[in-house]
A = this chain, B = another copy of it.
């Protein structure tokens, strides 16, 4: 009998690196390492590979390793080169996939982290059983993964899912992308920070605390941010005729003060609302969704069935 293949998953984020090695249905080993200070970009990439290889050698699975999947919080091209990573500008131009393949010696897939998390949510989380979905990841930014006919859709360059930069208010607040009135500038954690500053506070978490205490300005802030997201999502649902919308990331933990206005704005802007069926759900997976998505991508790359069978050990 051929031994079960092993795969590596990596979630390379702005603040930490998560890694997992899976064999058959079991996750054998994991690692979770915050970025150390003071490394050059190539040294940082070397650290990612070192973490991965240490899991492989600890597991004794080197000869069974078939593929690696990486969820990366950066914009990459189809060759896995980094085009843009605002959190780590030094990575721009780095041939990430090629360098990883050189170190790991297995085929490696690099995917946007929101897409990877969407894939995990779709196969292991709340998305199971749907064929046409939109998985939102709403935190500091707003990202999304598109599931079309039951598969993660990549688009022409691999950049599909940029719902955060859908302009819905051309006269709206400035966005980090250089334009005005993007969904992200109106609906993300950054929008809540703007509300917090009007009260002499600093962070989106302050808004959430104040809302939990019932403060009117904070409830208004949550409702405003949620409504703008609802409008942007309705635009996407109308365009793409979704079956389900699943919301993950920081906001998915918020209560009715966010969810009520979000769902009202979303459903209020749907075409043919009476005859349309649309499930609106909270994501089920915790912050490890990106890592499980990366494992799924590796399984896909290795020609294995998708990660519906890959569960946390």
Contacts and interface: CB of A to CB of B under 8 A. Distances in A.
A148 B156 contact: no
A177 to B, nearest CB: 6
A57 interface: no
Contacts of A158: 241
A240 B153 CA distance: 9
B165 A168 contact: no
A268 to B, nearest CB: 9
A240 to B, nearest CB: 6
A162 interface: yes
A181 to B, nearest CB: 9
Interface in A148-178: 148-149, 153-163, 165-170, 177
Interface size range on A against B = 35 or more
Given A153-B148, A277-B156, A271 B165 contact: yes
The secondary structure that dominates the A interface is loop
Interface stretch (A9-17, A120-128, A206-214, A230-238): A230-238
A198 interface: no
Contact of A235 (B155, B160, B167): B167
Interface in A235-249: 235-236, 238-243
Nearest to A134: B239
Nearest to A161: B239
A149 B152 CA distance: 12
> Which of A77, A160, A242, A271 has the most chain B CB atoms inside 10 A of its CB?
A271
Nearest to A77: B275
Contacts of A272: 75, 83-84, 157, 159
A275 B243 CA distance: 32
Interface of A: 75, 77, 83-84, 131-132, 144, 146, 148-149, 153-163, 165-170, 177, 179, 231, 234-236, 238-243, 269, 271-272, 275-277
16 contacts: A75-B272, A132-B155, A146-B240, A155-B240, A157-B241, A157-B275, A157-B277, A159-B272, A163-B239, A166-B235, A166-B239, A167-B234, A167-B269, A168-B168, A170-B231, A235-B235
Given A167-B234, A167-B235, A240-B240, 17 more contacts: A75-B272, A83-B272, A148-B153, A156-B242, A156-B243, A157-B275, A157-B276, A161-B241, A166-B235, A166-B238, A167-B168, A167-B231, A168-B170, A169-B170, A177-B271, A236-B239, A239-B240
